[in-house]
Chain A
Amino acid sequence: MTVITKKGEIADAYVRADTLETAFEADGIPLIPASLVDEYVVAKPGTDFGLSVPGSMPIEDLVPYLAQASLIAIEFPGFSDGRGFSLARRVKREGFAGRLRASGPLIADQFTDALQCGFDEVELPETMTNRQPVQQWMEAKDTITDFYQSGYGEGLSILEKRRAARKGARP
C-alpha cells in the first residue's frame, strides 16, 4: 500500500487489522473495519484508532464514531464507484476533524476530485502505484487550475473569483 497526500508520498502510521487480536497487537495505530469498531472501543476505550468503512455506508451509521477515530478510511470498491466522494462530503459536514482517507484502486486522474471533496490522502494498492507512480499523482492534481464549484476545496471557485475581481475593480 502507498499513501499519497497532496505533498507526496507519506509513511503510513496506520496498520490494517481484520481481527481484534491483530488490532491489539498492531505495530502502529490500528485501522479497523466497521464490523469491529463497537467491540474495539469497549475493549480499548480512549485509545487511538482509524476506522475503515465502505463508500456505501449511510452517514448516520458513521456519526457516532467521528469524535473517536483519528482517521476515517472510505473504501472505493472500484475507481468508477463515486459514492465515496459524497460520503466524504457528509463526513466533513459533520465536523470530522481527523484525517480523511480514500482507500482503493483510484486513478491519478481522480486525485483532484478526492482532494476537493475533503480527502487528505489516498491509500493505493501496489498494483496501482506500479503503473501510476506518485509523480503522476502530483502532476494530475495540478492540471486544472480553477474550478467552477463553490464550497469544494480550499480556494475560491471561478464564480467567486469573478465576483472578487469585480469588487476589486470598483472604487
Chain B
Amino acid sequence: MYRYDEFDERFVRERVAQFRGQVERRLEGSLTEDEFKPLRLKNGLYLQLHAYMLRIAVPYGTLNSRQLRQLAHIAETYDKGYGHFTTRQNLQFNWPKLKDVPDILDLLADVEMHCIQTSGNCIRNVTADQFAGVAKDEVEDPRPTAELLRQWSSLHPEFVWLPRKFKIAVTGAEHDRAAIKVHDIGLKLKRNAAGEVGYEVIVGGGLGRTPMIGKVVRDFLPKEELLAYLEAIMRVYNSEGRRDNKYKARVKILVHETGEEEFRARVEEEYAKLDGPTINAPEEEVERIAAYFAPPAYEDLAEDSATLDGARASDPALDRFVEQNGFAHKQPGYIALTIALKEIGAVPGDMSADQMRAFADIAEKYSFDEFRVTHSQNLVLPHVKKDDLPAVYAALKEAGLASANAGLITDIIACPGLDYCALATAKSIPIAQDIAKTFADPDRQKAIGDLPIKISGCINACGHHHVGAIGILGLEKGGRENYQITIGGDATEHAALGERLGPGIDAGDVPGAIEAVVETYLAEKQGSESFIETVRRTGAEPFKAGFTAFIEARAAAQSEAAE
C-alpha cells in the first residue's frame, strides 16, 4: 500500500498545526462560529446530537495493522472504546471532545492518516472497489488512481469552496463494487480498441433527497489526461453549480438542469482551453504511486488447498463462512475474505477496540498486513492463503468477527439515524437490529440468498436506501416514526433506484413487512435467481401486492384487538 514520503508527511503535519490554530482562533474570537464551521467540517469534525463526531479518512478503504492499532488506542483514550465504519469507507468516532481533536489528529498523522476533507463542500475522501488488486475481472488496479486523486484534491486552492460536497469513486473492474454511477464523479478504468488504458467518466450521480444515476460524460479519457479533465469538470461545477439552494447544489442537479449534452459541451469547451501538460501528473509520478500497489510477495501455490478442503468437510460452520464470505482471488491458492461487522443484534459497522487489535493481528499475520473497508460497512482481508484459512477463521471467531452473512439479508447497511444524527427523522440502527433478529436463522438466510438491505434515518440517504435491493427510509409523520419500503435498487453496473411498495409503516411492522417481501420473492423466484434478479424480471407489482396484503392483514388484526 501507499507510504508517505517526506512531502506527504510534512503536509499532513502542517494540516494538523493549521487546524490546531483554527481551534485556537475560534476560542479567542478571531473566527466566528459561522466561519469556523466549514473549517472544522473540512477536517471531518461534525457537531452531532449529543457530541462532536470525528470522521477519519480511510483513503479508498485501505488500512494496515499499525493504523488499526492506533485507531483502537484513540477509541479507548478519547472515545467510548469503539469506532464506526461508514458507507464511504471511513471511520467515525462519535464521542471526541473538541479540545482533544488536535491531539487525535497528531496520533493519526503518526500512522499516516488524517481527516482532511471527510466533510464539507469540497472533494471528499475518494472511494474504490474493496477488491482492488484481487478481483479477476479487473482491467487495472483502481488504487493508484485513487491515491493520485487523494493528493490532487487535498487542499485544492480552487475547489475547497464548492457549492456542495463532491464525491469521487473509482473502479477498475467489470463488476462495479464502488457504486460509481451514484457518485458525483465515477471513474471506470477500461481499455479502448487499441488496448490502451483510460477512463470512462461518469458525472452527476448521487443519492440524497434527489437520487440520480450519473451520465457518461466521456466514454474514453486517456489515462494521462485525468487531472486536467477533472479540473475542467470541477471548474464548470464550481462556476455554475447552484448556490441559491443547498438542496439543489450538487453537480447532479447542474447536469440535470443544464442537460446532459450541454453539460458535456461546457466541460469539453473548458477542457479545450486548459493547458493539460501543466496540470496532469508527470508520468514518473503516476508510476511511483503505482509501484506501491504492486502485488505482494505471493507464494507459488496450487489453486486448491487440501488443508482447507479437509477442514471444510469436517467443520460445517467454516464451510458456510468460506462459501458466503469468500471472494475468488486472482492469485492461485489465495482467497479474499469479507468480515461482516454484522453480528446479529450488533450495530452495523461498529468495531470495539479489542476487536480492532485482534483483527490487526490477523491482518498482519495472514494478509500481508493489509485490509480494506467496504461501502457495506464491512472489512476485507484481501490476500489470505487458503491453507491458512482454518486458522484465520478460528482467530476471527475468537474476536467475534466470523459472522457468515456477507451479502445476506442480515448484512444490513444502516446510517447512524436518531441514535446519533442531528438531522435524523427516525431510528435506523434499531430497525437493522430488529430485522437481523427476525432473520437470525442461518438456514433461512441461506435459503433467501443475496439481499442487501439499506436503511437511512432521513431523506439525506446516508444509508443508500435508494440503491438497496430492499431500501428502508425512516421519516417522521404526525409525531411518529414512519418507514417507507422500496425494492429494486441497485448500486452496481446495473444501477437502478428503488421503487416504493406502498404507504409508510410503523417501526414495529418493518420486520413483518420485510418477511412479506421475502415471501413474495421465494414464491416468484425462478431457478437460482437472486432477489434483485427476480425483481428485475417481474417488476415491483407482485411485491406491491404482497406488501398490501400484509398491511391489510395487520390492520384487520389491529382492529380486532381493539374490539
Contact = CB atoms under 8 A, between A and B. Distances in A.
Contacts of B30: 108, 131-132, 136
A113 B157 contact: yes
A152 interface: yes
Contacts of A31: none
B15 interface: yes
Contacts of B31: 107, 131-132
B17 A159 contact: no
Contacts of A16: none
Contact of A85 (B161, B280, B285): B161
Nearest to B14: A144
Interface of A is mostly: helix
Contacts of A112: 157
A116 interface: yes
Given A86-B235, A107-B35, A163-B282, A143 B157 contact: no
A85 B227 CA distance: 18
Contact of B155 (A80, A85, A147): A147
A166 B154 CA distance: 23
A108 B275 CA distance: 30
A152 B243 contact: no
A149 interface: yes
Contact of A143 (B7, B14, B159, B284): B14
A150 B160 contact: no
B238 A149 contact: no
A7 interface: no
B528 interface: no
Contacts of A159: 151, 281-282, 285
Chain B contact residues: helix, strand, loop or mixed: helix
Contacts of B5: 162
A151 to B, nearest CB: 4
Contacts of A160: 282
A117 interface: yes
Nearest to B278: A151
B25, B32, B273: which has the most chain A beta carbons within 10 Å? B25
A44 B157 CA distance: 37
Contact of B284 (A80, A93, A117, A163): A163
B157 A153 contact: yes
Interface in B408-464: none
Contacts of B545: none
A79 interface: yes
A87 interface: yes
Contacts of B247: none
B154 to A, nearest CB: 6
B158 A162 contact: no
Nearest to A133: B30
B288 A82 contact: no
A1 interface: no
Interface in B215-273: 227, 235, 238-239, 243, 273
Contacts of B239: 56, 83, 86-87
Nearest to B163: A82
B11 interface: yes
B278 A161 contact: no
B557 to A, nearest CB: 53
B484 interface: no
Interface in B361-380: none
A143 B235 contact: no
B29 interface: yes
Task: Please list the 10 inter-chain residue pairs (A to B) with the smallest Cβ-Cβ separation, ordered nearest first.
Answer: A82-B161, A116-B157, A113-B157, A151-B278, A148-B151, A158-B7, A143-B18, A151-B279, A86-B238, A85-B158
11 contacts: A80-B161, A82-B238, A85-B157, A85-B161, A109-B22, A116-B157, A131-B32, A136-B25, A144-B18, A144-B155, A160-B282
Interface of A: 56, 79-83, 85-87, 89-90, 93, 107-110, 112-114, 116-117, 131-132, 136, 139, 143-153, 158-163, 166
